[in-house]
Amino acid sequence: MAKVTCVLYDDPVDGYPKSYPRDDIPKLEYYPDGQKLPTPQKIDFKPGTLLGCVSGELGLRRFLEDNGHEFIVTTSKDGPDSVFERELVDSDIIISQPFWPAYLTAERIAKAPKLKLVITAGIGSDHIDLQAAMNGGLTVAEITYCNSISVSEHAVMQILALLHNYIPSYEWVVKNGWNIADCVERAYDLEGMSIGIVGAGRIGFAVLKRLKPFDVSLHYTDRHRLPESAENELGLTYHPDVESLVRICDVVSIHCPLHPETEHMFNDTLLSKMKRGTYIVNTARGKICDRDAIVRALQSGQLAGYAGDVWFPEPPPNDHPWRTMPNHAMTPHVSGTTLSAQARYAAGVREILECWFDGRPIRNEYLVVEGGKLAGVGAHSYTAGNLTKGTDEAARFKKE
Ligand code: NDP
């Protein structure tokens, strides 16, 4: 019998939906690289419904309670008086998600002596102090690939939205305007431009594939070079470092994980090496960019636009400068939690829990930390260390 504490985002302001725009979602079996979609023995939810918010409960309540486990679901995650802080002290398992991150700091891990398993319902476990998880012998797992294609589609959408000045043009319509010149004074075609991808993993590679038909010049940098066949198929130019990539690109889309090597990678120095008028789209993690350096670069015109869906902290306070900086097209952290993606990550969490309770191994591709060290996908894509050394900022930032 385990206590499972789960932190999820709030329900819609007008209540949990009674109906949806569509009746179903496509049934997929495999991801593009051949990895099988989640294979739980059973699910207790309808794919295509809202599962990532508190009332959705990732569709887990019946499964957990029928098996005698205690299941706490909350949105209250920041600060010492939060429900999360209170419930974690005797929790065996914590489930959290990147869109509404329950920052699991070393201090919080130290307060949870029974904690054994931490599951990220999504991809990206940087809101967990992985070094502390390794030191504490915890298992950390995430649902690799569950929303990679969702994010790649969002990134392509934001690249086009920035280039074509879509959001300001939409706003003119809503304001009863027809201000063509106002709309197009910042509008360009993507065709012929050089696009650079930082981190050509599952998402980055999917973005490259999706951009190929736009007749652009495609560039990437990564710690591991792609196979020659992939480079040839898409006509990719490899750059051994990010500096060489940004010097020649018109658009840069960021898709590497946040870890000690990538924190604040896009700072004043790197931004100054870019072509004037470059666009950045960051759907990876907010802290890969230096918050204030991005604002300065937009204000000076060094950047023509910035979009993405990732911030630090999340949720950002009302006075977070990215809410009001010029020429941005930011969304909240939504790209990886479409209804389509939710069905996959809810099924993936269920698969991991079934394995855990049955004493079966968790798929290697889901593992981030196991047995005191980085494992599975974690060993491939992260570096050891406390990559979230700023997570305490989240609670502090909120109080300011
Ligand atoms: P992958 O692990 O498939 O890809 C990440 C890639 O980044 C890998 O190829 C990795 O290289 C590369 N990389 C790591 N460090 C560096 C570096 N210093 N410079 C350049 N490249 C680097 O993960 P995904 O593509 O599935 O996801 C990527 C990130 O996107 C996640 O970590 C997460 O932060 C974010 N994400 C955001 C979501 C959202 O909703 N906005 C949802 C899902 C993910 P290699 O492995 O070759 O060493």
Number of the ligand 1 atom closest to the C-alpha atom of 337 = 40
Give, in words, the CATH class of 3-146+337-376+383-399.
alpha beta
Residue 121 Cβ < 6 Å to ligand 1: no
Give residue 399's pLDDT.
52
Give the three-state DSSP class for 326. coil
Q: Are 9 and 52 contacting, i.e. CB atoms less than 8 angstroms apart?
A: yes
CA of 196 to the centre of ligand 1 (A): 14
Ligand 1 midpoint to CA 165 (Å): 27
Enumerate the H helices of the chain as residue ranges.
61-66, 83-87, 106-110, 130-135, 148-163, 166-174, 180-184, 202-211, 228-234, 242-248, 268-272, 291-300, 339-358, 376-381, 392-399
Q: Whose CA is nearest to atom 41 of ligand 1?
A: 283
CB atoms within 10 A of CB 32: 14
Amino acid at 148: S
For residue 126, the CA-to-ligand 1 centroid distance in Å is: 11
**Atom of ligand 1 at shortest range from CA of 309:** 41
Q: Is 362 left (phi over 0), alpha (psi -120 to 50) or beta?
A: beta
Dist. CA 4–CA 8, nearest whole Å: 13
**Rounded distance from Cα 329 to ligand 1 centre (Å):** 22
Query: What local confidence, expressed as pLDDT, does residue 281 receive?
Result: 99
What are 58's two structure tokens? 């990732």
Q: For ligand 1, pick from 143, 245, 256, 365 the residue to mutate: most ligand atoms within 8 Å of CB.
A: 256
pLDDT of residue 337: 98
Whose structure tokens read 């941005």?
A: 328
Q: How far is the CA of 182 from the centre of ligand 1 (A)?
A: 37
Ligand 1: which of 145, 203, 209 to mutate, judged by most atoms within 8 Å of the beta carbon?
203
CATH 3.55.10.10 given to domain 148-330: no
Rounded Cα gap, residues 80 and 21, in angstroms? 39
Contacting residues for 335 by C-beta, under 8 A, at least 6 apart: 147, 150, 151, 153, 154, 155, 283, 309
Token pair, residue 123, equals 């991809």
**CB of 202 sitting under 6 A from ligand 1:** yes
Q: Ligand 1 pocket, 222 CB below 6 A?
A: yes
Whether 148-330 and 3-146+337-376+383-399 are alike in CATH topology: the answer is yes
**Mutate which of 35, 97, 151 for ligand 1 pocket (most atoms within 8 A of beta carbon):** 151
Closest CA to 220 of 188, 255, 192, 261: 255
The distance from CA 334 to its chain's CA centroid, rounded to whole angstroms, is 8
208 CB less than 6 Å from ligand 1? no
Alpha-carbon distance of 230 to 228, in angstroms, equals 5
The pLDDT score that the predictor gives to residue 381 is 73
Q: Give domain limits for the chain.
A: 3-146+337-376+383-399, 148-330
Q: How many CB atoms lie within 10 A of CB 185?
A: 10
Residues 10 and 372: their CA atoms lie apart, in Å, by: 33
Nearest C-alpha neighbor of 134 from the set 367, 395, 337, 393:
367
Q: Is 203 in the pocket of ligand 1 (CB under 6 A)?
A: yes
Q: pLDDT by residue for the chain (400 residues), tens digit each?
A: 999 999 999 999 999 999 999 999 999 999 999 999 999 999 999 999 999 999 999 999 999 999 999 999 999 999 999 999 999 999 999 999 999 999 999 999 999 999 999 999 999 998 999 999 999 999 999 999 999 999 999 999 999 999 999 999 999 999 999 999 999 999 999 999 999 999 999 999 999 999 999 999 999 999 999 999 999 999 999 999 999 999 999 999 999 999 888 999 999 999 999 999 999 999 999 999 999 999 999 999 999 999 999 999 999 999 999 999 999 999 999 999 999 999 999 999 999 999 999 999 999 999 999 999 999 988 877 766 655 554 555 555 455 4
Q: What is the pTM of this model?
A: 0.95
Q: Is the CB of 344 inside a 6 Å radius of any atom of ligand 1? A: no
108 within ligand 1 shell (Cβ under 6 A): no
Residue identified by tokens 């999706």 is 210
Q: How far is the CA of 286 from the centre of ligand 1 (A)?
A: 13
